[in-house]
Structure 1
Amino acid sequence: MAKDDGPTRIQRDRRLRILEAGLDVFAAEGFRGATLDGIARQAGLSKPNLLYYFASKEAIFRALLDLVLDTWLDPLRALDPQGEPLREMLEYVRRKLRLARDHPRESRLFAGEILHGAPRLGDALSVDLKRLVDGRAGVIAGWMARGRLAPSDPHHLIFSIWALTQHYADFDVQVRAVLGPDRDPWAEAEAHLTTHFTRLLTP
């Protein structure tokens, strides 16, 4: 009996092409506006070929959400409980901002899902995300209790970091319209947010 070695390189490449095309189409059109025909066209594949890899538009969208959520949690996972508290928090802010800068389509895809009530991510948010955030909030609370950071609510601190970093991806057009073409919003944002959170968190 022949050994099943899993998907071939061509199959892996096509699956990635479909996900990349889906990310483009969903980020631009939203879930309701996107179509399988549009995704197949963006991927350079026929619709039957696409359906060989993903059974539905929903399957593509859910696969993308799973990847995005996992990537989105990486900066928080990297927060080191043994590190110097202020340095760890500032580096978390920078990682989140750079993630938003480098993955704006993913940010908008995730934001769109949340704005629609997270019908496909409810369980992941209330279990996986909550567990991680609660754990890191406990670490931050411990730093605050020992006087290593200025006191605040750790959960709302994390929410504030999310809001202030992802804004630059989700509202990129607005940010650039206000700042004008000669200013780099990302460099300015990193400098501003570093100063802001240094002042907020320094004991």
Structure 2
Amino acid sequence: MSSRTRLKPGGTTRIQREKRRAIFDAALDIFSEAGLRGATLDQIATRAGLSKPNVVYYFDSKEAIYRDLLEALLGIWIDPLRQIRAEGDPVAEIIAYVHRKLAMSQEMPRESRLFATEMIQNAPRISDVLQGDLKALVDEKAALIEGWVRDGRIAPVDARHLIFSIWATTQHYADFDVQVRGVLGPEREGQRFAEADAFLTTLYTRMLTP
């Protein structure tokens, strides 16, 4: 058996898959709140409604859960950038990417905070992906954006810093959710993402329109 996980998804029973999902969901809660260092297998087991030996049956350490969780989520996290289409209207394609990233912050705040924590710790577990698959995808989309700039279809912009800016302005609403809610106050609780969407749409549309 792997030193990372006791079981792999392929060939497992329905009950085993359900328990793995329960462990992942519980671990996502704990890791996004306490980080890897602050989390314990006991906490994860309690949150998952399982015994600690039951969790250890599937994963031999909290590090194994953390690594597998990151790997499982990484493709989901990168996919919105992959969806930018060369054949689409440039401004509309970039604004649609902003919408997708903001929606992920609204719908997947725990996942966003998990990645933010990993980045703060210098990404020791996924640095190879950042320098490999993610860099290759950013290079590909940056080349597309640079082509749109050369053709005069969008205003001049540094493509990579544009992508970084979109990450920062959208993920902020998940990673700094407490700060956002504290500053906006309870009276705007239900509309902060709609307001953010409208603001970011205006911001990037004005920036990018030739």
Give the match's secondary structure for 1:147: coil
**109, 117, 125: which is aligned to 1:104?**
109
**165, 168, 177: which is aligned to 2:170?**
165
2:199 aligned partner: 192
1:23 aligns with 2:18: no
Q: Distance in 2 between matches of 1:101 and 1:55?
A: 32
Q: Distance in 1 between matches of 2:87 and 2:111?
A: 30
**46, 55, 74: which is aligned to 2:79?**
74
Q: Distance in 1 between matches of 2:141 and 2:59?
A: 35
1:68/1:110 contact within 8 Å kept: no
1:85 aligns with 2:90: yes
State the Cα deviation string for residues 115-151 of structure 1 (Å, max 9, x = none): 0110101101100110111101111111111000101
2:160 aligned partner: 155
Q: Distance in 2 between matches of 1:28 and 1:89?
A: 31
Superposition deviation, residue 71 in structure 1: 1.1
Q: Distance in 2 between matches of 1:39 and 1:52?
A: 13
2:208 aligned partner: 201
Q: Distance in 1 between matches of 2:203 and 2:17?
A: 43
TM-score, normalised on structure 1? 0.96
- Gapped runs of 5+ residues in structure 1? none
Q: Distance in 2 between matches of 1:135 and 1:197?
A: 20
1:23/1:106 contact within 8 Å kept: yes
Superposition deviation, residue 63 in structure 1: 1.1
Q: Distance in 1 between matches of 2:202 and 2:187?
A: 22
1:35 aligns with 2:62: no
Q: Distance in 2 between matches of 1:33 and 1:86?
A: 42
Give the match's secondary structure for 2:37: helix
Paired residue type of 1:95: R
Superposition deviation, residue 67 in structure 1: 2.2
Q: Distance in 1 between matches of 2:73 and 2:193?
A: 21
State the Cα deviation string for residues 36-55 of structure 1 (Å, max 9, x = none): 11101111111111111111
Paired residue type of 2:196: A
Q: Distance in 2 between matches of 1:136 and 1:69?
A: 18
State the Cα deviation string for residues 94-131 of structure 1 (Å, max 9, x = none): 00000111000000000000001101011011001101
1:55 aligned partner: 60
Superposition deviation, residue 72 in structure 1: 1.0
Paired residue type of 1:193: L
1:125 aligned partner: 130
State the Cα deviation string for residues 60-106 of structure 1 (Å, max 9, x = none): 00111112221111110111111111110100000000011100000
**13, 20, 43: which is aligned to 2:18?**
13
Q: Distance in 1 between matches of 2:72 and 2:109?
A: 14
Q: Distance in 1 between matches of 2:164 and 2:34?
A: 27
